Every structure is written in C-alpha cells, then in structure tokens.
Amino acid sequence: MKPTRAQRAAALEQWAERVGPSDLVEAETAILRTIAELAQRREDLDAQLAEAVSAARTQQRTWAEIGIMLGVSKQAAHRKYGNPAPT
C-alpha cells in the first residue's frame, strides 16, 4: 500500500528532527510546495467529480451524457466511474 501524503510528510518531519544543522543544504522549495498543493486540489476535484457522476447516475443520466460532459466516450466514463473499487 502506498503511503499517504500525510504519512510521507510525517516521515519527513521525523527525519528533520534527527538531522543535524551541518547536514542541511539550503534549497528553494516553493515549487515543490506548489506541486503538493496542486496535487491535493486535484485529489479534491477528483472526489467531487466522482460524487457528481454518482449523483447524475442517481438522476438517471446516461453514461453517454456523462461522457459528453467529461469529454470522453460513454465507455471511458463507465470504466472510470461505473464500477466502485472493491474494499
């Protein structure tokens, strides 16, 4: 199982507590923070999109209609959103 972003951040914090000042090298991290923020926003949007697709299906919207709104085929929409992953 892949560690979550929060788990990776916690591991990094633990490492930072163990490392000495002489081991550190100054680095510009703004772009990395930007990447992390955008990745989180993408995860949030993906979850919202999945909820919207589920709501559309509850309202009897077809996979063809949903696919059109997503800019993909009905098959691609169904493949991505139609079968929930096993738990």
Rounded Cα distance between 87 and 83, Å, is 12
In a domain, 77, yes or no: yes
Give yes or no for a contact between 40 and 5, defined as CB atoms under 8 angstroms apart. yes
Q: Would you put residue 75 in left (φ > 0), alpha (ψ -120 to 50) or beta?
A: alpha
pLDDT in tens, 30-82: 999 999 999 999 999 999 999 999 999 999 999 999 999 999 999 999 999 99
For residue 50, what pLDDT is reported? 97
Residue 8 counted as domain residue: no
Please state the pTM of the whole predicted model. 0.64
Segments forming the whole domain that contains residue 52: 28-87
Q: In this predicted model, what pLDDT tens digit does every residue of 16-29 receive, in sequence order?
A: 888 888 887 888 88
Please indicate, yes or no, if residue 46 is contained in any of the structural domains: yes
Q: Which is nearest to 35 in space by CA: 43, 26, 27? A: 43
64 within some domain: yes
Domain count, the chain: 1
In a domain, 4, yes or no: no
Residue 72 lies in a domain: yes
Interatomic CA distance for residues 60 and 54, integer angstroms: 10
